[in-house]
Amino acid sequence: MVNQIKSPLAESPVIEEDSQKIVKIRHTCAHILAMAVQNLFPETKVAIGPWTETGFYYDFDRPTPFTPEDLEKIAAEMGRIIGKNLPIIREVLERSEIAAEIERLNQPYKKLILERIPPDETITRYFIGSPDAGRSDREPSLIDGAVSPPEEFWWDLCAGPHLNSTGEINPDAFALESVAGAYWQGDEKQPQLQRIYGTAWQTPAELQNYLQQKEEAQRRDHRKLGQQLKLFSIQEDAGGGLVFWHPRGATMRYLIEDYWRQAHLEAGYQFLYTPHLANLDLWKTSGHWDFYRDNMFEAIELEQQSYQIKPMNCPFHVLTYQNDLHSYREFPLRWAELGTVYRYERSGVLHGLMRVRGFTQDDAHIFCLPEQIAAEILGVLNLTEKILSDFGFTNYEVNLSTRPSKSVGSDSVWELATAALIEALNAKKWDYIEDQGGGAFYGPKIDIKIQDAIGRMWQCSTIQVDFNLPERFDMQYVARDGTRERPIMIHRAIFGSLERFFGILIENYAGDFPLWLAPIQVRLLPVSDEQHHYALEVAVQLKQAGYRVEIDKSGERLGKQIRTGELEKIPVLAVIGKREVSSKTLSVRTRQGGDLGSMTLADLLEKMQTAILSKTNL
């Protein structure tokens, strides 16, 4: 059963107003942060400071690193500025005027920002204080942190939006969080700046909830748990951004893939395997070379030809389709592949399993007739619901993105595809948020975000109708009347990528995986060597029943064995002592149920089978 999560922007006008206010609060906090920094450290040059999903940041060019003590001083200065309730005023000016002031004040990053603004775009700046402050004895100055009696004065080149005054921010509802390095424009060839991160909310209670969630998220960090539970590693010696699956993690990956394949077979899919690279011309035909080149690795030269390692699977599926001339009678064709792709990501944005350079997509493409679109989309939604629910995700936010201003395909085919997506969503009785103009240039799409155990939303599943590739590759099928027509092509992924989904799973369960998914389901703990033979007998029977079991061979005392099993989050620990050997029983402890007492192996197998079928724990 799906529990719908609605975006605040999809709710009533009151909620929408609150959403806009939090944006203004966070954007204004970014300006106040920069003002506070320059009040305290006037030599600092400023770069850029936007609002974010949970707060704000600002990038600074300062030769001396910011310290934790500096952050405390900056936060105090921000509180003082907020307490002054200074007005915030928007002003429109001529490009030449603002350029002269930026040049005079030697603010190189603001100069670069100004140069990127299109010539026909209105240029605005926002003042904290009054634009007239200090005009009697000096000209307005750009973000120089100066104080002009009788009123403080600061401004930034910005498009907004902002609050009307600093006093609209609750001084107990913001916090500075950390300092990190950040290259200008995200390019490691550019200067490295210092980025101060902060968070801001409307009320202190919201701030405390966020900080508690952040603390819980740190406890669940998949990078830390991945090492602790011996699931995977990222080997920098291999170049970074590449995942090494260790035995326990590889076991879980096998389980996930096996489940995925079985679910797709039941849903009428066929499987493909395609190469890892192809002639560069393929990527030029598909359009990836023109539109996606910055995210592709360098081509490989071989026998006077250029080969490109694949960033996507879809062109390979198209080539497979074109190997034969298909008839309308064959449709729909549902082809799925766990295809590993490689994309160039800058080292500064790599993040555990969430942002990598090599990953496996649970990719599928459906080729169908126009009148089959709605039914096929509904089938994808049903399969998505089944798979995500079985992995423990039942709270979703659904987004429908429609035709953007720049797109390919006729009006009629866009209208047909969009209506089919809506028809499928209505058939599911799912609420959705419509993002007008937010679709891909090649077709409308549905995106599904899942909510994890601590309330965070993760983008995973996507369903996209594509009018571009069938046109580029001149895809055809034989229609009922014998003419050649273009098939409808639907892209879809449910996990998104195995690596990222695995990271989400780790954090959702905090490493306490349900019994069916745990890499080691049962660990037998013999109290001494005398019980080892019985432990072997039990292990054989568990393995024959299909369970993943191991015997603790550390020779440690029982208390240490139990503690190790708990730290490694083994779902079932079975103690075997003299009493258990003589009675042919096991003393069972579980992660979720605690001490279950003594039971026979048959009883344990029955309980585990029930948990496996329901995809829960004992």
Catalytic positions, please?
Answer: 314, 343, 361, 363, 365, 445, 491
Rounded Cα distance between 488 and 539, Å, is 52
Rounded Cα distance between 574 and 559, Å, is 13
Q: Are 125 and 158 in contact (CB under 8 A)?
A: yes
DSSP letters along 414-481, please? HHHHHHHHHHHHHHHT---EEETT-SBTTB-EEEEEEE-TTS-EEEEEEEEEESHHHHHTT--EE-TT
Distances (CA, A) of 445 to 300, 435, 463, 588: 33, 10, 5, 49
Rounded Cα distance between 82 and 156, Å, is 17
- Cα dihedral: 538, 540, 542, 545 (round 10): -140
Q: Are 500 and 461 in contact (CB under 8 A)?
A: no
- Give which of 466, 373, 483, 467 is closest to 421, Cα–Cα: 373
Buried b (16+ CB within 10 A) or exposed e, 166-195: bbbbbeebbbbeebeebbbeeeeeeeebbb
Helices 373-390 and 247-266 meet at what angle, rounded to 10? 140
Backbone torsions φ then ψ of 245, nearest 5 degrees: -85, 120
